[in-house]
Structure 1
Amino acid sequence: MSRDRYVDFLRAWAIVLVVLGHWLITALVRDPDGRITAPELLATVDWTQWLTLGFQIMPLFFLAGGHAAGGSWARARAAGNTSAGWLGRRALRLLLPVAVYSGAVLLAVGVCTAVGVDADTLALVGWAMGMQFWFLPVYLLLSALTPLLYAAHRRWGLRVPPVLGAVALVADALVVTVHAPYVGLLNYVLVWGVAYQLGFCWRDGLLTGRRSATRLAHPARVPLVPLAMAVGGGLAFAALVALGPFPVSLILVTGQSPSNTNPPSAAMLAWLVAQVGLSLLAAPVLRRLLARERVWRVVRPVGAASMTLYLWHMLPVLIVAAAFYLTGLAPEPVLGSAAWWGLRVPWLLVLGAVLACVVLALRPWERGLGVLYGRTVPDAGLRRAWPLWAGLAVDVAALTRFAVRGFAPDGRFPLLPALGLALGTVLVTVPRWTAAERLGQPGATRTTDRV
C-alpha cells in the first residue's frame, strides 16, 4: 500500500508548530549580574495562553502515529512477525537518536559541572534541553500496547476511543475533586491513546467512510463523523473552560491548577477530538495540494528530519543566548510590549537559520545511526524478549525523569537516569545478538523489512 502523504504532512506540521511554539514563548533576560533568566511568557502575559490553541498540535502527531503503527503492525502480523520483534524495531528507531542527543547533552552537563558553571543556570539549561522528552515515554508505552489496542480496534472499532475517553474523564474527575495525582498519570496514556486509537479508525475508513490512504475524499461530501467531532469537541472545550475549572492554556503554566497537560485533562481531550475532526475535514483539500510534486518536495524533507528537529530545536536558543544575550548585544524591550513582539520576527528567523545549520551538521551522525540501526535491529520474529521488555521499562523510567527534572536537576549531573538510559538502550539491542547466535550467522535477522 502506498504511503499517505497527508499522514506524513500531519507529522511534519505537528513538529514544525511545536518548534515554533517553543521558540515563540521563550523569553530571555540578562540580569545585572550577567546571568540569563527565562521569564514565563504564558504566566506573565495572560492573553498569550490563547495562542496555545493553535500551537498545541500533538494530538495530530499521535493521530498520525496511530495511523502508521496500525498499518505497520498489520503488515508485520500478516508476515508472521512477533509483537516483540515489531516493537523492538520501532523502539530502536526512536531510542538511537534519543541516545545520541542525550549523550551529547549529558557530556556538556558533565563538563559544565566540572568547570563550576552556576548551578541555577545549568539547571535552567538542562530543563530547556529536556522539556520535550515528555512525549517519548508516552509514545513508547503506546507502541508497546499497539498489538493489544489494535486487537481491540479489530473487534470493536469505533467503540474503543469513547471507552478510553470515558475512563480518562473518570481519572480526571478524581484528580480535580479529590486531588489524586497518581490516578491522573493514567491520562498520559488514555488521552493521547484516544488520538492514537483514532488513527487506527482513520486508516480503516471508520471515520471518513473510506480507506484514507487509497482514495481521495469526494470534494462535495462532508464526512459527518469528523464534522461532529470538530463541532462537539470545540463546544465541549468551550464549556469546560467557561463553566468548569479548566484554564484555556493547553501548555503547562506554572502555578495553574488544574493543568490541561499535567496530566492531560478533560479539556485537552475535548480539544483533541475537535482537532482530529478538523484535520479530517481538511484532508481532501490538503491531499490535492500535497499531490503536487513541488509542494511535496518541500514537505518531505521536513518529515524525514522530524525527529532531529524535535530533539535539537532548543539548542539554537542556547547558541543565540550565548551570542547575543551574554554579550549584551540583544535589545531587551519590556516582555510582552509591542517592541518585544516586533523582535519575535528576527528572533524566529535567526533561530531557524541556526537550526538549519545544526540539522546539516548532524547529517553524518544520522547516516551513522542508519548503519548502527541495521546492525543492532532486533529480529522481526523475536520470541525470547525479556531483555527488550526490561530495556524499554528502564528507558521509560529514565526518559520520564529527564522530562520532569531536566538534564541537570538542581545543577547536578543526573547519574542514575543517564546510566538507566544507556542500559535500557543496550538491552533493547540484546535480542538481535541472541537471535543471530541462534541462527548461526553473525548479525543475521529473519527479515529485512523496515517497519
Structure 2
Amino acid sequence: MSRDRCVDFLRAWAIVLVVLGHWLITALVREPDGRITAPELLATVPWTQWLTLAFQIMPLFFLAGGHAAGGSWARARAAGDTAAGWLGRRALRLLLPTGVYSALVLLAVGICSAVGVDPDTLALVGWAMAMQFWFLPVYLLLSALTPPLYAAHRRWGLLVPPVMGAVALVVDVLVLTVHAPYLGLLDYVLVWGVAYQLGFCWRDGLLTRSRLLPLVMASSGAVAFAALVALGPFPVSLILVTGQTPSNTDPPSAAMLAWVVAQVGLCLLVAPAVRRLLERERVWRLVRPVGAVSMTLYLWHMLPVLAVAAAFYLTGLAPEPVLGSAAWWGLRLPWLLLLGAVLTGVVAALRPLDRGLGALYARTGPDAAPDAGPRRAWPRRAWPRRAWPLWLGLALAVAALGRLAERGFAPDGRFPVLPALGLALGTALVTLNRWTAGRRSEQTEKARVADRV
C-alpha cells in the first residue's frame, strides 16, 4: 500500500477531530430575554482545557499537507512547471470553496443586518461561522513558500525543521519579554511550518530510517511540553481561551512547538499499524469519503450548530442543565449525534455545488487535477512574467481571511466591507490568472504541434 493512503487518513482524522472538538466545547444558553449566548466552556470549567490535548490535532494536518505538497511540487518541477503555475492550482483548491462559503454567509449577514437583527447576536453568529478561518491564511502562506522550503529540504534535510523551531523560540521569547505582538505573527508560519517541513522529511524517508528518531521526538516533545506548562508561563490549553495570557495558539507558542514535535513523533510510531489497518478495503471505504468532503466539512461544520440553536434553543425546547454538570455532559452525546445528522444533510445538499466547483476548477487549466502534477511539460517561462495577479490575489486573500478569522463575518454586528472586498478580489485574481495560464499553455502546445507538423 502506498503511503498516500495513510496521509489521506491523517487529513480525514484531523478534520473529524476538529469538527468534534468545536462541537463538544460549544455551549448555548437561552437568556430570559430570549437571546442566545455562548459561554466559553474552557474558561467557565477550567479542567476542560486538558481535553484540548486530545483535540488539538492540527499538527497532523500540516504534517500531511507538507507530505502531499512536497510530492506534488516535485512532480510539477520535474515536468517543467513553474512555482506560480503550481501555486495557482493549490491556492484555487482552497479559495474557490472558501469564496463560495464566504459569499453565502456574507449574504446572510447583509440580509440579517438590513432587517434589524440584534447586533450582538449577529456578531456571535458571524464569529462562529469564521472561527475556523485561521488555518486558511497560514496554509496559503506555507503553500506559497513551498518551493524555497522544499529546496532547503533537498539541500539540508533534517537540519531545516530544528532551525525553524529555534527561530520560532527566539520570536516567542521576544513576544513574551518585549511584548511585540506583530512579531508573533511569524510564529504562525514558523511553528506550523515545522510540521509542514517534517512532512517533506517523512515523504523522503528521513524520519523513518530508524525507529529511535520518532520515539525521541514523541518523548522529548512531551517532556518539553510538560515542563513549559508546569514550570513556564504557558497554559495547558492548546486552544485559545479568552483572557488567558500567554496563549498557546495566538500566536503559536514554544509549548505548541513542543506539542507539534511530540504529536508528529507519535504519528510516526503508529503509522505502520495504521497502514496495515488501511490495507483492509472495508476500512478504506470508510475513510475515503471523509477525505473527499474534508473541505466542505471544515468550512460548514458550524452551520448545524446555528440550525439546532434556532430549532431548540430559540423555541425553548432544549434542556439547559448547569454548564459543566453531569447532566450537561450527559447531553453531549445526543448533541453530537444531532449535529452529525444535520451536517450529513448539509454535505449532501452541497454536493451539486461541490461538483460545480470541481468543474470550474478543471476549466482553469488542462493540468488542474489535484496533486496529479501537470499532464504535459509546461513552458518554463509561461508564468513568471505575468504572475503578478496571482501574488496580489494571494496577498489580498490572506489579509482578508486573517481579518475574518480575527473578528468574524459581522464584527460588532456590522457587515465587514473591506475583508469581503479583499477576499472577493483576491479569489477573482487567482482564478483569472489560473484560467489565462491554462489558455496560454494550450496555445503554446498547439503551436508546438503545428511546428512539428
Mapped partners of 1:445, 1:63: distance in 2 = 41
Q: Confirm or deny that 1:255 pairs with 2:255.
A: no
Q: Confirm or deny that 1:376 pairs with 2:364.
A: yes
Give the 3 Å change call, closer, same or farther, for CA 153–304 of structure 1 in structure 2. same
Find the partner of 2:425 among 416, 420, 423: 423
Q: Which residue number in structure 2 is paired with residue 225 of structure 1? A: 213
For the residue of structure 2 that corresponds to 1:298, the secondary structure is helix
The code of the aligned residue for 1:102 comes to S
Give the 3 Å change call, closer, same or farther, for CA 443–314 of structure 1 in structure 2. farther
Give the 3 Å change call, closer, same or farther, for CA 33–316 of structure 1 in structure 2. same
Consecutive aligned runs of 4 or more in structure 1 exceeding 6 Å deviation: 442-446
Q: Which residue number in structure 1 is paired with residue 402 of structure 2? A: 400
Q: Which residue number in structure 2 is paired with residue 5 of structure 1? A: 5
Gaps spanning 5+ residues in structure 1: where?
210-221, 447-451
Displacement, 1:436?
5.4
Give the 3 Å change call, closer, same or farther, for CA 443–113 of structure 1 in structure 2. farther
C-alpha offsets along residues 56-89 of structure 1, whole Å, 9 cap, x if unaligned? Answer: 0000000000000000000000000000000000
Q: Which residue number in structure 1 is paired with residue 370 of structure 2? A: none
Q: Confirm or deny that 1:291 pairs with 2:279.
A: yes
Give the 3 Å change call, closer, same or farther, for CA 439–132 of structure 1 in structure 2. closer
Mapped partners of 2:66, 2:260: distance in 1 = 14
Count of paired positions: 434
Q: Which residue number in structure 2 is paired with residue 358 of structure 1? A: 346
Contact 1:89–1:378 (CA under 8 A) maintained in structure 2: no
For the residue of structure 2 that corresponds to 1:4, the secondary structure is helix
C-alpha offsets along residues 292-331 of structure 1, whole Å, 9 cap, x if unaligned? Answer: 0000000000011110000000000000000000000000
Mapped partners of 2:446, 2:334: distance in 1 = 51
Mapped partners of 2:216, 2:44: distance in 1 = 36
Q: Confirm or deny that 1:303 pairs with 2:295.
A: no
Contact 1:99–1:425 (CA under 8 A) maintained in structure 2: yes
Mapped partners of 1:370, 1:187: distance in 2 = 33
Find the partner of 1:275 among 263, 266, 273: 263
C-alpha offsets along residues 329-370 of structure 1, whole Å, 9 cap, x if unaligned? Answer: 000000000000000000000000000000000000000001
Displacement, 1:441?
5.0
The code of the aligned residue for 1:72 comes to S
For the residue of structure 1 that corresponds to 2:317, the secondary structure is coil
Mapped partners of 1:185, 1:378: distance in 2 = 37
C-alpha offsets along residues 164-195 of structure 1, whole Å, 9 cap, x if unaligned? Answer: 00000000001111211111110000000000
C-alpha offsets along residues 397-427 of structure 1, whole Å, 9 cap, x if unaligned? Answer: 0000100000000000111111111100110
Q: Which residue number in structure 2 is paired with residue 80 of structure 1? A: 80
Contact 1:377–1:429 (CA under 8 A) maintained in structure 2: no
Q: Which residue number in structure 1 is paired with residue 152 of structure 2? A: 152
Contact 2:150–2:200 (CA under 8 A) maintained in structure 1: yes
Mapped partners of 1:283, 1:18: distance in 2 = 20
Give the 3 Å change call, closer, same or farther, for CA 102–378 of structure 1 in structure 2. farther
Give the 3 Å change call, closer, same or farther, for CA 203–439 of structure 1 in structure 2. closer
RMSD over equivalenced CA pairs, Å: 1.8
Mapped partners of 2:205, 2:273: distance in 1 = 18
Q: Percent identity?
A: 83
Gaps spanning 5+ residues in structure 2: where?
368-373, 449-453
Displacement, 1:430?
2.2
C-alpha offsets along residues 177-230 of structure 1, whole Å, 9 cap, x if unaligned? Answer: 121111111000000000000000000000001xxxxxxxxxxxx711100000
Give the 3 Å change call, closer, same or farther, for CA 436–254 of structure 1 in structure 2. closer
**Which of 379-388 and 268-277 deviates more?**
379-388
Please give the residue correspondences for 1:36-75 in structure 2 after superposition, counting only pairs within 5 Å. Answer: 36-75=36-75
C-alpha offsets along residues 2-23 of structure 1, whole Å, 9 cap, x if unaligned? Answer: 5621110000000000000000
For the residue of structure 1 that corresponds to 2:182, the secondary structure is helix
TM, length-normalised to structure 2: 0.93
Mapped partners of 2:445, 2:359: distance in 1 = 12
Give the 3 Å change call, closer, same or farther, for CA 117–73 of structure 1 in structure 2. same
The code of the aligned residue for 1:112 comes to C
Mapped partners of 2:19, 2:397: distance in 1 = 24
Mapped partners of 1:44, 1:259: distance in 2 = 17
Mapped partners of 2:278, 2:40: distance in 1 = 37
Displacement, 1:440?
7.5
Give the 3 Å change call, closer, same or farther, for CA 109–289 of structure 1 in structure 2. same
Contact 1:436–1:443 (CA under 8 A) maintained in structure 2: no
Give the 3 Å change call, closer, same or farther, for CA 318–444 of structure 1 in structure 2. farther
Displacement, 1:377?
4.3
Displacement, 1:431?
2.2
Contact 2:365–2:439 (CA under 8 A) maintained in structure 1: no
Give the 3 Å change call, closer, same or farther, for CA 38–439 of structure 1 in structure 2. closer
Contact 1:436–1:442 (CA under 8 A) maintained in structure 2: no
Please give the residue correspondences for 1:92-171 in structure 2 after superposition, counting only pairs within 5 Å. Answer: 92-171=92-171
Contact 2:235–2:247 (CA under 8 A) maintained in structure 1: yes
Q: Confirm or deny that 1:245 pairs with 2:233.
A: yes
The code of the aligned residue for 1:36 comes to I
Mapped partners of 2:440, 2:13: distance in 1 = 43
Contact 2:366–2:438 (CA under 8 A) maintained in structure 1: no
For the residue of structure 2 that corresponds to 1:294, the secondary structure is helix
Mapped partners of 1:107, 1:138: distance in 2 = 26
